[in-house]
Amino acid sequence: MRKLLLCTALIVVLAAFLYVSINPADFGYSTGDHLVFGHPRYVDMDDYFIHNGQNQTGANNIVTSIVFDYRGFDTLGEASVLFTAVLAVGMVLRALRRDAK
């Protein structure tokens, strides 16, 4: 019973994805032609970064200039998440060690 339910849910999700990828106009993605991989619908912000990124930050790699400069708070959060994870691992393993003794 559970397996049948799981298979049905998977098939429904797969059919939904296939339907969206075949008829994108029904969901407001695009009016007219298909969505093509590598050609997004709205490109204003991409064009701003591509045309001004080298002058403003001086980096050739625009991905790095976005990650560390334009969207620096994102990287700050990522680094503090890693720091907190290391703290949590140390606390858990230390408590387990005290229990084992």
Partner 1 sequence: MMSKIVRTQANFLYPLIMIFGFYIVAHGHLTPGGGFQGGAVIATGVALIAVAYSYKNVKTWIKKTRLTATEAIGLLTFIITALLGISRSFFYNWLANTGLLFGQPVPYGINPGYLNTAGTLPIMNFAVGIEVLGGLGVIIMYYLHYIKEVSKNAV
Partner 2 sequence: MIFESLLQILLLAGLIISAYLAIRYKDLLACAVALGVFSFLLSLEFYILQAPDVAIAEAGIGAGLTTAIFILAIKGTSRWEVEE
**What single-letter DSSP state applies at residue 12?**
H
Distances (CA, A) of 4 to 11, 33, 65: 11, 37, 49
List 16, 46, 56, 77, residue binding partner 1 (CB under 8 A): 56
The least CB distance from residue 32 to partner 1, in Å, is: 33
List the single partner that 38 binds among partner 1, partner 2, none, CB under 5 to 8 Å by kind.
partner 2
Q: Measuring CA to CA, which residue among 7, 5, 33, 4 is closest to residue 15?
A: 7
Could you say which residues in the range 29-88 bind partner 2, by CB under 8 A?
Answer: 37-38, 63
Binding site for partner 2 (CB under 8 A): 37-38, 63
